[in-house]
Structure 1
């Protein structure tokens, strides 16, 4: 074989090898992007959410001047946590969320089944904290109104069910549908026994508005990067980009066994 032919074949082999390396690199980048996008969707790390949290002010510039009425059963510092699950559970999941936040809905969609399972088994308790960052950045009062309505549901022991219904029926981020009492009542009708005169009065009067604003202020002052912020036993699980519902379950069950 002539030197020229050998050189041609060598060059062809090199080109093929280079092309394979390019394909491998492209595939690796694609997988990283897919995983990264999944984590953003599931855990709410979208940059816009971080910006929203960083820039959030009070919801629509108005403040409730009434007394701070803590929802029935709320606990923690200043009574700002709405609990779910047995107090004896060895693991605590702290969730900061906004009912208008799309990333919060993504988290709910992915993690709700395992969270409910672990709460039902007595292995996990959840502390929900409500924020209003979307109101502050997109305009409107839907975050605050939905949070107040959820607090009203807590007064009758139906927070979790109504919480889930709100996320299942979350409007587009730019749609302030939750600002309308009629919408909140419509969704309350999906929870057995919730749509009562007492609940409607609580929603219409904004009984827990000042409490919601106090919770929102605690979020703004807490140094959090966005919603949802999800903390398991003191550790922000955002730090672990490999977090999945299965891994969360494993961590909780491991802690439960001691």
Structure 2
């Protein structure tokens, strides 16, 4: 092989090697651009998600933000108690309850007729505190919405009747049916004169939501064990296994006699 041919082949190999290196460099630049673009895309997506999450958190927080609007006639500290019965009754029963709470329904069903009898006779005053404990335990907003609706019924002077209707139509604890304002308005139809434009607006606007939240905070800070908490003379009679509607009636009537 001549020197000239050897030089030609060597030059060809060098040119081929140079071309391969050029292609490798181009490929490395292309990959760098792809990775860089992916990182930018991921960061951009993360930023968008962060904004959405932040805004969602603000919406969630602001939903119950604003002034605390207590229902008409609410009394006690921070106006958190809805009273049923005469103010000068000699006995007072304090009830902390949640409309989604099955145990609350059991208590109300068992004691309802006795409480009605004693409050109507002017011998007992019941102070209801509405909380949203089950919302926190099970998720959802049924406790909040039903408590707000009950407060709206208080504005209309129909609290006790609507209170009873809610327990008579309580869904399963895991069913957040009371989160639906339409459902609550339909149930209001069972109480004569309650389903009015004012009541509907109060329910749909969540007028008393912040008041319910404040009541929940008071319940939590009170160190109560759960719902219902039923206080008579400072003792939680719901925890008293010997307590019955008949025994409570006897205690109230005894106090009334002095």
State the TM-score bracket (shorter-chain normalisation).
0.7 to 0.9
TM-score norm. by structure 1 comes to 0.75
Compute the displacement of 1:66 (Å).
1.5
SS at match of 2:127: strand
Match for residue 68 of structure 2? 68
**Distance between the aligned counterparts of 1:255 and 1:81, measured in 2?**
22
Give unpaired runs (5+ residues) of structure 1: 1-59
**Distance between the aligned counterparts of 1:135 and 1:151, measured in 2?**
17
Match for residue 213 of structure 1? 213
**Greater RCO structure (CA 8 Å; 6+ sep):** 1
- Give the direction of change, closer, same or farther, for the CA distance of 1:61–1:251 in structure 2 (3 Å limit): farther
**Distance between the aligned counterparts of 1:197 and 1:230, measured in 2?**
34
TM-score norm. by structure 2 comes to 0.75
**Distance between the aligned counterparts of 1:196 and 1:116, measured in 2?**
25
Match for residue 81 of structure 1? 81
Match for residue 156 of structure 2? 156
Compute the displacement of 1:233 (Å).
2.5
Compute the displacement of 1:238 (Å).
3.4
Match for residue 188 of structure 2? 188
Match for residue 171 of structure 1? 171
Compute the displacement of 1:61 (Å).
7.5
Deviations 1:177-201 (A, max 9, x none): 0000110011000000000000000
**Distance between the aligned counterparts of 2:124 and 2:61, measured in 1?**
37
Compute the displacement of 1:236 (Å).
1.6
- Give the direction of change, closer, same or farther, for the CA distance of 1:66–1:116 in structure 2 (3 Å limit): same
**Distance between the aligned counterparts of 1:62 and 1:240, measured in 2?**
41
- Give the direction of change, closer, same or farther, for the CA distance of 1:101–1:61 in structure 2 (3 Å limit): farther
Runs of 4 or more off by more than 6 Å in structure 1?
Answer: none
- Give the direction of change, closer, same or farther, for the CA distance of 1:239–1:107 in structure 2 (3 Å limit): closer
Compute the displacement of 1:230 (Å).
0.2
Compute the displacement of 1:62 (Å).
7.3
Match for residue 132 of structure 2? 132
Higher helix share: 2
Compute the displacement of 1:117 (Å).
0.2
Match for residue 246 of structure 2? 246
**Distance between the aligned counterparts of 1:233 and 1:123, measured in 2?**
14
Match for residue 122 of structure 1? 122
**Distance between the aligned counterparts of 1:125 and 1:169, measured in 2?**
25
Compute the displacement of 1:113 (Å).
0.5
Correspondence list, 1:46-57, <5 A: none
SS at match of 2:173: coil
SS at match of 1:94: strand
- Give the direction of change, closer, same or farther, for the CA distance of 1:233–1:62 in structure 2 (3 Å limit): farther
| Max Rg structure | 2
RMSD: 1.2
**Distance between the aligned counterparts of 1:61 and 1:106, measured in 2?**
33
